[in-house]
Structure 1
Amino acid sequence: MQDSRVATRGLVLLGCGKMGSAMLAGWLEAGLPASAVWVVEPNPSDWLVGTGVDLSGTLPEAPAVVLVAVKPQMMAEALPLLKPMGNGDTLFISVAAGITLAAFEEILGAQTPIVRAMPNTPAAISQGITAIVGNNAASAQHLAEAEALLQAVGEVVHVTDEGQIDAVTGVSGSGPAYVFHMIETLAQAGQAQGLDAETAMRLAKATVAGAGALAMTSEETPEQLRINVTSPNGTTQAALEVLMDESTGFPSLMARAVKAAADRSRELANG
């Protein structure tokens, strides 16, 4: 990253909350000089001040990249500040939920290379996954540049159509909340069977974390891993008969949950 276009011409980070801070930490750790970063953040944290990035509010005329990480409701106020950078070769990357490529083009110009990204909260520990899609002005090089920057907080996948971002939101964008709720309910179920609250929660957290790590590292599919741990007429099979019930179990429940999140994402995008 030290020899990249970003290091030479600079990067503007618009918004430095949890997601922006996670990405900035990853870039700096990867070798991006603090002197190459300008941050627009009305309430900078002590950590941000200590990084040495430029917080003066005076921005470069043509940075290599502008990464937009403000909340969607702040977008209308924030983006016009960057309009002079549009219709050039400055790449805009947005991690703001529900803001479409067309909405950015209306403000920045249709010739502006724009990449829309949907990360998730495990980015805070560099274990996130981000889906990206570009507008017509975004070249393969622009997409590669966006991927390189977003890899600072985890994996990156490409989708071929912007409409797929809504499905991504339902699966990975909102997905961590589903897993956190599963941990909650698994621990509560353990308590109901006689465990104390602390032990139940430790067991639930470690089980979900360990199973996820095994799924990520194993050459076997999650389906096969499930089969491996399920003895005929055993305890796991008894539980799975409840969880895999077509009308009340995970298949139906998860499909409805992901659809609800994706539908809400579409509503946000349509105003």
Structure 2
Amino acid sequence: MRIRQKTIFDVIEEEGTIFKDKSVFTTEYIPEIYQYRDHQLDSMAFHSRKVKSGYAPYNMLLKGTNATGKTTTLKKYFQLIKEAYSNVFTVYINCKIHRTEYQIFSEVYKTLFHEDIATLNTYNFYNRIMDYLTENKIILILGLDEFDNIKNSIELNRTLYDFLRAYEEYPDVQISVITVSSSKNITATDLNVSTIHLPIEIGFPFYTQQEVYSILKQRVDLGFYPGVISEDLIAYISERAYRLGNLRIGIKKLEHAGDRAEYKGHYKIEKADLM
């Protein structure tokens, strides 16, 4: 009897036996139990105490090398503060994608109003956003991830100026900006912005080797079925990620190894799958 060859659709639709929850290995995943960044989250909470009185948190700068938990900490902070305060509205923006003042205002508008109006200009976005925040007594916390990637210093200064000095035109508006940077040389802001920005700096040192192992072990327990990968292989991936100074590499190695094992029809990840 002739065995039918699998089509591309057969392969895509196959149910695997390796992954319990593949989303655990994505950059968007936010663990319910978030390890080794309690100090940073506590610091962000401490500088947000004015929220309970209806005022925006202090501006903050989350600073550290790549893959040190800055983005996940920001998203976890947003998650927690929105759950606690109904008058807080948060907007996360990846400045590697949205690099101009217009794009940033457009994203805030879309997130706030759940609509995309391409015919509006920055001035229209600005006024509609500020009117809404004022009328509804909403505190806006804007997260600008990798804000050094904003197109140029002119765009950066315009963006920060319009948000941080909005109170001059809208006295009751409450806005906080949390910037995130992996760069050693942060783009300088001009005097009109720097005198009002004044962010609280929160540092993100790289994880220790044991911390890297513990974080990857948590992902393994959440993302794979029991027995899929050995402790020795987790330790091997952890050591490599630590040596390269990039936790994200370890997380993606786990995902790719799982993919290779599934493709081969295996029930366990072998060292050859890590290559």
Alignment TM-score, normalising by the size of structure 1: 0.32
Greater RCO, CA 8 A, separation 6+: 2
Instruction: Give the TM-score, by structure 2 length.
Output: 0.32
